[in-house]
Structure 1
Amino acid sequence: MSFDLVFFGGTGDLTWRKLMPALFQAWRHGKLPAHGRILAVARDDRDDAGYRAWLKDRLQEAESAKRPSEEEFARFSELIHYLRMDLSQPTDYQRLKEWLAARNADTVVIYLATSPHLFPSICEQLGACGLNHDRVRVVLEKPLGHDLASAQEINRVVRSVFSEQQALRIDHYLGKPSVQNLMALRFGNVLFEPLWRRESIANIQITLAESIGVGTRGDFYDRTGALRDMIQNHALQLLTMIAMEPPSSANADAIRDEKLKVLRSLKPFDAISVARDVVRGQYRAGNVEGHAAVGYIEENKVPPGSHTETFVALRCEIQNWRWAGVPFYLRTGKRLAQRQAEIVVNFKATPHPIFPGPNAANKLVIKLQPEDGLELQLLAAKGTSSGAEHEALSPVSLDLDFDKAFPTNRVGAYERMLLDALAGRLNLFVRSDEQEQAWRWVEPILEAWSAQPNGLRPYAAGTWGPPAASALVARDGFAWAEEEC
């Protein structure tokens, strides 16, 4: 299969930090289809050689194990080309069309690694010059819109040019190996499915924690905030994967239909429940992993007195037969104690304790980053007591490290998503109705915050967020995973 992969925003952070390194790894692993070209599009005045030299310097900033050698980059860079474009000029789109037509590849994937406000105009221009034929797919990066209305408008324009099968809305968390193994864990094994319901599960916690601050993205982040940046997309997608019903098949739409049902079953928020069940915070100066860290409002490009949240914790419920009464806790934040993304499924304790000590419970920890694996915490007797009728139980862990279990050519999230986009596999991409339903659910939170802008709770950088986040979980008699004894 011949392909052309076009990156709008070819000199942007996303392209050189994530997309090009992912493509290089796919090429290094021998997974990139043969007969391909990669075209970077940007406004800078460069040629192919100039862009390759620029990219080579950028790739040296990758982890040492992922950096190309001189010989590797020389061969990989033969795929890479550059085209200077002004995205507002129809004549430049015509030049792009001519460049693509010179070879007439089997598949053309156009990746919009630009600001989302440019998506509608780019798609309209692509349609106007005929770059929306059935061999073309367009990939849309998040955040897709700023609220429900803007998301609907972007989708309206995109649908006027591309079919739903051609428009791939990416959420790179869905490409993480551990998230992929959620499907295998639930629907490929008989062990867990009988327990995956309200009768056996006490609560589920989803944590997406970052130890870094906003860095050089202060102006972007201040317009976005943690709710839009992480909860509306990543956290809700993980929730749907955990809570969905078994699909009728592995077909993309069968899976996405079940995910949509979960989003539609989420109990809606109003002003009262937002005040009760949602905590928003903003980091102040502190110490992160042994290094001093400034507060959010001291960060570069953040306006003084900003009310943008850098932390969100919320409690939600799914109103259906399987999950009625089970609390789901979602949490994300910048400048937290450590970088960690995980899903913790806390099972209920045994109904009648016969062993001394606390009546502890089992838990399943699905590790997304920095580790990648599963940990099942069971209870067992140490076998060290003598003369005791019963010995207190202690927790033991069954640990699965996916990198060790599958050591050969593990595929990263963006690598997987790019390969799927080229192959036309839609399972990991978000359908427009899913994305709009997620906005519909978070919008009452945004509206309540807009009416009460002074509700931010401060937390010191290097902690796990405001104390109110712990109180949110404690109210139900539970605790966040790191707070448990």
Structure 2
Amino acid sequence: MNENMTLDLPLTTCRALVMFGATGDLARRMLWPSLYALDCDGLLPPGFALIGAAHSKASDTEFVARIREAVQASANGGLFDAAVFDRFAARIRYVSVDAGTAGGIEPIRAALAESAPGEGGVIFYLSTPPTLIGPICGALRESGIADRASRVVVEKPIGTSVASAHETNEAINATFAEDQVFRIDHYLGKEAVQNLLALRFANAIFEPLWNANAIEQVQITVAETVGVEGRWGYYDNAGALRDMVQSHLLQLLCLVAMEPPASFTPSAVRNEKVKVLWSLRPITQADVGAHTVTGQYAEGYAGGKPVPGYREEEGANRSSDTETFVAIRAEIDNWRWAGVPFYLRTGKRLQRRSSEIVIQFKSAPTNIFAEVGASLAPNVLLIKLQPDEMITLSLMHKKAGLNEMALEQVGLDLSIEDVAGGSRRRIAYERMLLDVLRGNSSLFVRRDEVEAAWQWIDGIIEGWRTTGQKPRPYGAGSWGPSAAIGLPERFGHSWHE
């Protein structure tokens, strides 16, 4: 996170955050530890109340004890200090609600009146299943608890198709104007993703080369070693394409491919991102077989231990055809990127955990060193998002010594941790929550972005359906089905490993 940029922004007059789904997995692992870290840094406004809302019954004391355990077990556990946590805990209230009805959320009104009286907006964070987004927004509207000063934060997925995304967005916008809505994709809060914007638009050396004249191919990989981790019921209705490509990978693609915005303002940034989505060439029945590969993990080894296949997971449907892996060759039909393939790849139970963006430049037009036996490799810009955050630019370099002209490829490495000078590595949600507090929606997803992404994804799903394309099995601990290796090779490329 760019501390100077963020901390110079003024805090807004929000008086409280109400978290629906406050006892859920995301809240426990990410949201409460992120809010605690912001409070440690003095970034929560004075008197700002935190109200947890969920269906289960619990006292304030019991709920605070759960949050204490969550903070200590999280990536921010090293920040834990009993006195600081007591100050943080004083902000917290818990209420049991029935989120589907206006009367069922009345306890929130009483908690706000007691814990956060006075003027100022309320942030409603919907850390809930997508089926509850519409009912919660409707209940907030009917009860009058939400007003024009309120904000709403919505987790993905927003729908499961362009039609359902439109329906969900209509339900949100019936209560909240678009400038009150923050559709969150936590990948956009990662330090390396922030640095992608800085790399592109704060350095004059890259922009003249950031196009089809100089770039051969782009690869975006989000690989996971874990399986469905107890989320089989949700995941089987989503699959890798809906769960990861529609949100994370397409957002990263937009940041790589977008035109320079007129300014770093929410409208300017998001206008350029949605233009990329509009320019994506549809993948239809005619080319879905040549441009996509799907897979489903079978039993194998992960972390040196045997693991079951997808259909053998707890609660699994033994005949499920849901994909846990997808690879896509995408193209962007505009002047900047015409002819440049964008290879997208994501999957579960893969060989290693890795999220990265690879920009491969075209080879030098001629090799003047060939006659002395030297070969050239193309320059590559590697942006690693996880598990390590770093940027590497690979260049050709002469080997040291008295050799005539022996060349090798070397990397110029920019480690985010080294540059940070020992600063704490932050959870991406910290940045996103802070931007919500300040009303800065630049890194959040606008309604037309969501629906444009789904329109492209729906075309692929329809192509799979009409052609009968089914996931190919791959062993857990591999890089996916063998056909995925051949996808870029058919076009003269190969995956970066």
TM-score interval w.r.t. the shorter chain? over 0.9
1:359 matched to which residue of 2?
376
Residue 69 of structure 1, CA deviation: 3.7
Distance 2:416 2:242 in 1: 30
The amino acid across from 1:357 in the alignment is A
Post-superposition CA distance 1:271-313 (Å, at most 9, x none): 1211110000001111123121111111112211110000000
1:74 matched to which residue of 2?
86
Post-superposition CA distance 1:446-471 (Å, at most 9, x none): 12223455621111111111111110
The 3-state SS of whatever aligns with 1:271 is coil
Distance 1:403 1:3 in 2: 34
Residue 422 of structure 1, CA deviation: 1.1
- What are the residue-to-residue correspondences of 1:71-150 with 2, within 5 Å? 71-102=83-114, 103-150=117-164
| Conserved 8 A contact 2:102-2:138 | no
CA separation of 1:331 and 1:436: change in aligned 2, threshold 3 A: same
Distance 2:203 2:41 in 1: 29
Distance 2:291 2:186 in 1: 28
Distance 1:452 1:319 in 2: 25
Stretches of structure 2 that go unaligned for 5 or more consecutive residues are 1-12
Q: TM-score, normalised by structure 1?
A: 0.96
| Conserved 8 A contact 1:247-1:258 | yes
Residue 74 of structure 1, CA deviation: 2.4
The 3-state SS of whatever aligns with 2:123 is strand
Distance 1:157 1:305 in 2: 35
Q: Higher mean Cα deviation, 5-14 or 446-455?
A: 446-455
Q: Higher mean Cα deviation, 43-52 or 430-439?
A: 43-52
The amino acid across from 1:216 in the alignment is G
Stretches of structure 1 that go unaligned for 5 or more consecutive residues are none
Residue 93 of structure 1, CA deviation: 2.4
Distance 1:383 1:17 in 2: 49
**Equivalent of 1:436, from 430, 442, 451?**
451
The amino acid across from 2:433 in the alignment is L
**Equivalent of 1:379, from 396, 417, 425?**
396
Distance 2:402 2:479 in 1: 37
Distance 1:179 1:284 in 2: 32
1:62 matched to which residue of 2?
74
Distance 1:184 1:438 in 2: 24
- What are the residue-to-residue correspondences of 1:439-450 with 2, within 5 Å? 439-450=454-465
CA separation of 1:454 and 1:245: change in aligned 2, threshold 3 A: closer
CA separation of 1:10 and 1:65: change in aligned 2, threshold 3 A: closer
| Conserved 8 A contact 2:280-2:331 | yes
Distance 1:144 1:67 in 2: 33
| Conserved 8 A contact 1:146-1:228 | yes
| Conserved 8 A contact 1:307-1:454 | no
Distance 1:452 1:476 in 2: 22
1:412 matched to which residue of 2?
427
Residue 413 of structure 1, CA deviation: 1.0
- What are the residue-to-residue correspondences of 1:278-357 with 2, within 5 Å? 278-355=292-369, 356-357=373-374
1:42 matched to which residue of 2?
54
Matched-pair identity in %: 45
Distance 1:72 1:291 in 2: 40
The amino acid across from 1:383 in the alignment is A
Distance 1:105 1:332 in 2: 45
Matched, 1:421 2:433: no
Distance 1:277 1:79 in 2: 52
Q: TM-score, normalised by structure 2?
A: 0.93
Post-superposition CA distance 1:115-147 (Å, at most 9, x none): 111111110111111233121000110011011
2:176 matched to which residue of 1?
162
The 3-state SS of whatever aligns with 2:442 is coil
CA separation of 1:235 and 1:370: change in aligned 2, threshold 3 A: same
| Conserved 8 A contact 1:344-1:364 | yes
The amino acid across from 2:262 in the alignment is S
Post-superposition CA distance 1:47-67 (Å, at most 9, x none): 211111122233333247546
| Conserved 8 A contact 2:37-2:76 | no
2:489 matched to which residue of 1?
474
The 3-state SS of whatever aligns with 2:359 is strand
Post-superposition CA distance 1:291-348 (Å, at most 9, x none): 2111111111221111000000000100000100000000000000111100000001
Distance 1:14 1:422 in 2: 19
The amino acid across from 1:413 in the alignment is A
Q: Higher mean Cα deviation, 287-296 or 145-154?
A: 287-296
The 3-state SS of whatever aligns with 1:161 is coil
| Conserved 8 A contact 1:349-1:362 | yes
Distance 1:33 1:349 in 2: 53
Q: CA RMSD in A?
A: 1.5
The 3-state SS of whatever aligns with 1:46 is coil
Distance 1:33 1:380 in 2: 52
| Conserved 8 A contact 2:296-2:322 | yes
The amino acid across from 1:228 in the alignment is R
Q: Higher mean Cα deviation, 440-449 or 71-80?
A: 71-80
The amino acid across from 1:424 in the alignment is G
The amino acid across from 2:164 in the alignment is S
Matched, 1:152 2:152: no
| Conserved 8 A contact 1:216-1:300 | yes
| Conserved 8 A contact 1:4-1:105 | no
Q: Higher mean Cα deviation, 194-203 or 132-141?
A: 132-141
CA separation of 1:444 and 1:13: change in aligned 2, threshold 3 A: same
Distance 1:284 1:147 in 2: 27
| Conserved 8 A contact 2:329-2:343 | yes
The 3-state SS of whatever aligns with 2:65 is helix
CA separation of 1:161 and 1:63: change in aligned 2, threshold 3 A: closer
Q: Higher mean Cα deviation, 374-383 or 86-95?
A: 86-95
Residue 106 of structure 1, CA deviation: 2.0
The 3-state SS of whatever aligns with 2:179 is coil
Distance 1:275 1:3 in 2: 53
The 3-state SS of whatever aligns with 1:189 is coil
Q: Higher mean Cα deviation, 451-460 or 427-436?
A: 451-460
| Conserved 8 A contact 1:3-1:422 | no
Q: Higher mean Cα deviation, 51-60 or 325-334?
A: 51-60
